[in-house]
């Protein structure tokens, strides 16, 4: 970021000294305009009005007027001094750092979305490859199953048996297990 957005950092001691100079100048201007006789008037320091400390004064009893019709009682005026609280120091957040942080957050979010999208697409391509491979394997399995059923056909089995020198038996023996009985039947070509 450029230096044109940076605020000058003031020395706190210099700020206090300048405020005191302004207060003295304002007080002397007020005294020259009003005069020193009015001490009960508030003193202005910058934007704050500070009341001078007042002590309640016990006024002497006021004598009643000559006419007895009405009695007037004068109460003494008292002013309480309220302590002026200085304004808190303003907290300055450098704008370029804040803007840079927000921009970095936005850029990080965009990059994160791009990476997430890439990973999702990468998985989609892998899934497509696996589906293609599964289709090819299904086709080869079907071809092998067709070849096996063709080889297991009775005509093919008989041709292969003759090729290896096997002959038809004259009798076929069946064994029935529950009783252990055997039955011999002559060979029938059907």
Residue 33 has pLDDT above 70, yes or no: no
Contacts of 95 (CB under 8 A, 6+ apart): 5
- Percent of the chain with pLDDT strictly greater than 90: 22
Beta pairing, strands 43-45 & 171-176: unpaired
Domain spans of the chain, in order of start: 9-50, 96-160
**Can you tell me which residue has the tokens 């008989």?**
158
How confident is the model over 104-158, as pLDDT tens digits?
A: 999 999 999 999 999 888 888 899 999 999 999 999 999 999 999 988 888 888 8
Contact between 90 and 7 under an 8 Å Cβ cutoff? The reply is no
- What are the Cα distances from residue 71, in Å, to 13, 61, 67, 75? 58, 13, 9, 13
Per-residue confidence band for 64, with pLDDT thresholds at 50, 70 and 90: low
Query: Please, what is the Cα angle at 38 between 80 and 86, to 5 degrees?
Result: 50
Q: How many CB atoms lie within 10 A of CB 26?
A: 14
Please give the radius of gyration of the chain, using alpha carbons only, rounded to the nearest integer. 57
């Amino acid at each position: 970021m450029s230096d044109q957005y940076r605020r000058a950092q003031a020395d706190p001691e210099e700020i206090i000294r300048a405020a005191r100079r302004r207060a003295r100048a304002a007080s002397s201007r007020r005294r020259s305009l009003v005069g020193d006789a009015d001490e009960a008037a508030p003193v202005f320091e910058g934007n704050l009005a500070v009341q001078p400390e007042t002590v309640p004064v016990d006024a002497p009893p006021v004598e009643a007027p000559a006419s007895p019709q009405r009695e007037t009682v004068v109460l003494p005026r008292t002013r309480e001094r309220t302590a002026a609280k200085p304004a808190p120091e303003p907290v300055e957040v450098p704008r370029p750092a804040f803007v840079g942080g927000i921009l970095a957050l936005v850029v990080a979010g965009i990059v994160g979305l791009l990476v997430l999208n890439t990973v999702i697409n990468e998985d989609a391509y892998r899934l497509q490859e696996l589906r293609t491979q599964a289709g090819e394997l299904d086709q080869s399995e079907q071809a092998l199953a067709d070849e096996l059923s063709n080889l297991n056909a009775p005509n093919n089995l008989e041709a292969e048996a003759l090729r290896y020198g096997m002959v038809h038996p004259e009798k076929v023996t069946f064994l029935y297990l529950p009783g252990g009985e055997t039955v011999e039947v002559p060979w029938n070509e059907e």
